[in-house]
Structure 1
């Protein structure tokens, strides 16, 4: 094993195709990070009902994330191909990190009044669950570049963006009598808003190494990112729909504390 890799995956400058790949995806990523639901979440405009709905129904995505990555890891077997060994090592390192995030997410949900039993028994509706089905399918049927693109670039890139805004505004919810904000309940947000934001850049670096001389693979990875973000957006549209319905019966947290 490459000892240097264990310390850090070097991020290299983009070449022509990878720079276009990255730039062309920014508008699709921004549809997630700037989605009205996350803007409302960051500004304290969600009702407690809609916040809980999102935490509950996005839980399977967080809980299964290490499994999606494990499916990608199973594809990293041909070490003679460029980027495969680096992808294998990176996935092994970060699967354990994602497992730790599950516990932090549970703490966040607990701070908003959800139990572990509720989380573990949730059955999201199709709009919320589509992203999970896509990631299972993509990581099972796609190649290694597609798997990294959909999971570690699409989902982690957009999540790092919106979580930084929500982290900045999370104290807006602190005065609500049914919400408890402390270091444990914001650990997931803090991680994704700060040190974990390197993950999508590392995923892009791995995609570059895997697909640098394969135009078809480049296009497959690009489409995997777009499709993953599209399913993410469907889930957020559903969260926003539930939020708008909840406003008929309740006030935003910022107005009801």
Structure 2
């Protein structure tokens, strides 16, 4: 039986959520730290990523940025107005935020240009081998998974980890200074929005997921949602691994040698 969940505590306190959700977050923490503590972020902030690594990152992550409104739209199609409080919450939230994600795609292109990667290269360039891992997972779970799974994998896990790593990069004065002064504000807009806006976004998504799943879902359902979160983090880490400098990319090295 699905016992209804209604949050009574603060949005951004884990104790406000059911025990199964608290356990899920804690059990996936190590996988999330694999993203937040990834070596790409200090390399970026310290100017050690290089032109190739920067190009790989901007082009390799772009499919997720470009398709994110689509992931949300596919989850929106799973909702039915009036079917449940969770459906109603998800419907309102997804409709409101899909347009925001479209604007984020434009901000990503501005960031890339400020970092020295042309818009044309981001849109049409060949992504590094294996960097499609995250995009493929998000597409799979958003198109075929239940509503709660699609949202916990994308709007909670992906956006939550992104909010944390973007804070690290945006806080770097050295990185900001590396952007051309005339367009610096525009170039940093994507980072600025995610370092602040996404601070509450994943918590809102978690509340919706808990409302959909209830206060005490079956152990199988809770385990499945946890697996979706963990897979998002692992997919993010793999994508970042594949976006590092050409010297760490055996495929790129072999191609260059050929």
**Structure 2 length normalisation: TM-score?**
0.84
Equivalent in the alignment of 2:33: 30
Counterpart Cα distance in 2 of 1:135 and 1:93? 20
Aligned match for 1:225, one of 229, 244, 249: 229
Could you say if the C-alpha distance between residues 128 and 140 of structure 1 is closer, same or farther in structure 2, counting changes exceeding 3 Å? same
The answer to whether structure 1 residue 100 and structure 2 residue 103 are counterparts is yes
Tell me the SS of whatever aligns to 2:138.
Answer: helix
Deviation digits for residues 114-143 of structure 1 (CA, Å, limit 9, x no counterpart):
222222213424410111111111111100
Counterpart Cα distance in 2 of 1:70 and 1:27? 30
The answer to whether structure 1 residue 87 and structure 2 residue 99 are counterparts is no
Q: Which moved more, 1:124-133 or 1:140-149?
A: 124-133
Could you say if the C-alpha distance between residues 25 and 181 of structure 1 is closer, same or farther in structure 2, counting changes exceeding 3 Å? farther
Aligned match for 1:150, one of 149, 153, 174: 153
Q: Report the CA distance between 1:83 and its aligned residue.
A: 0.7
The answer to whether structure 1 residue 171 and structure 2 residue 171 are counterparts is no
The answer to whether structure 1 residue 185 and structure 2 residue 187 are counterparts is yes
Partners of 2:43 and 2:49 within 8 A in 1: yes
Q: Report the CA distance between 1:153 and its aligned residue.
A: 1.1
Q: What is the aligned-residue RMSD (CA, Å)?
A: 2.3
Deviation digits for residues 54-100 of structure 1 (CA, Å, limit 9, x no counterpart):
01221111011100110011011263234111011101111111011
Aligned match for 2:69, one of 66, 69, 73: 66
Tell me the SS of whatever aligns to 1:182.
Answer: helix
Equivalent in the alignment of 2:198: 196
Could you say if the C-alpha distance between residues 165 and 80 of structure 1 is closer, same or farther in structure 2, counting changes exceeding 3 Å? same
The answer to whether structure 1 residue 16 and structure 2 residue 19 are counterparts is yes
Q: Which moved more, 1:129-138 or 1:74-83?
A: 74-83
The answer to whether structure 1 residue 210 and structure 2 residue 234 are counterparts is no
Equivalent in the alignment of 2:241: 237
Equivalent in the alignment of 2:163: 160
Could you say if the C-alpha distance between residues 62 and 179 of structure 1 is closer, same or farther in structure 2, counting changes exceeding 3 Å? farther
Q: Report the CA distance between 1:24 and its aligned residue.
A: 1.5
**Unpaired segments ≥5 residues, structure 2:** 1-9, 250-258
**Unpaired segments ≥5 residues, structure 1:** 1-9, 246-257
Partners of 1:150 and 1:228 within 8 A in 2: yes
Counterpart Cα distance in 2 of 1:110 and 1:241? 18
